[in-house]
Structure formats: C-alpha cells, structure tokens
Structure 1
C-alpha cells in the first residue's frame, strides 16, 4: 500500500492546516465560475481549502454540501467558514499535489 493511499482523516487535516484558502465563495454563491475554479484547484492540488463567506451556519453547511455534490469532492473538515475538500486525482502532478509534496 502506498503512503498516499494510507492517509487518514487526521493526517489530511494536518496537511490542510498549513494550506491557505484557494477559492472564496461569497455573495454570488456557487456560480459556474466558482465551481470551475474549485474543480480546477481540486484537479491540480487534490486537497484544498475553500472559504465560504455566505450567511449563517446553515447556509455555509448547505453551500459546502452543494460544493461537494457538484465537484465530487469529499468534505474532510469544516471549521467556521473554511472547509477542507479532498478529491484524489487519477494522475496527480507531483509538483502541484498537496498530498504528494508533503510526504
């Protein structure tokens, strides 16, 4: 089993702790451009942080769930208005992948 395949939730959160949000979901919500940018970031980096600056806790939860459903990503962690998303790439780029670069 490779190191990449054996990462658990705790290790993913530890890797994500050092990351900065790469996309911000704000007043316009989940527009097509935001979804495309999140998808591109997931394809490149596999593990990303997204800042969701919309409404209250329920609105942020709904936006995070919709984001996961639209992109096929998995929610690793949600703290305040920051969510950590994971979507494994079929052929990750070792220069860009947050999972490979830290191992």
Structure 2
C-alpha cells in the first residue's frame, strides 16, 4: 500500500476469482492489528476486513450517488467505492469519489 501510495484496497477471496469480501485501510491495519498487539506480517486482511464500503456495479448511475460517513474519523471507508460485476467479482475501484462529478460524500 505504501509503495503504491494508496490507503484503502479491496479484499477478495482469491486472486483468480476476485470475489469481493470487503476493504481494508492502512488505518484498519494500525487500529485493528498493530494496536491490538499483533504482528502485521501475521495478520491476514480477511481477519480485519470492513464490509461497510459502498459497492456499485458498472452500470450504476453515479450522478447524485451519495456516500454517508459515520463520523469525522470515517475518512477512508465510506469515501471509497468498489465496483463489482453481477457475480461480485471486483472489476474496479474508485478511491476518491469526492473528486468525481455527481458523487456526494458527506
């Protein structure tokens, strides 16, 4: 994540099928793994996956699409959109939807 300068990634079941399970952020790794006393090299993304990320399909109309944040700390999860096909296979990712015209994050 650091090498690619991204803070949130989708978590999938396996590299071949890429079925969406949720997302994990750098903040999740720190708060759910490191702060809990675990070695991040031994934690799996699946152990700390978040499932409250916005999910859309390629044909979803984004004009007027709204993402609600739970609170002020909720900076990554709800400001991320995962794009899946009809089988929930990840086909895309919108990491900064607030920069997309028509999408409202608030």
Which protein has the bigger strand share?
2
Structure number with bigger Rg: 2
More RCO (CA 8 Å, sep 6+): 1
Q: Which has more helix, going by share of residues?
A: 1
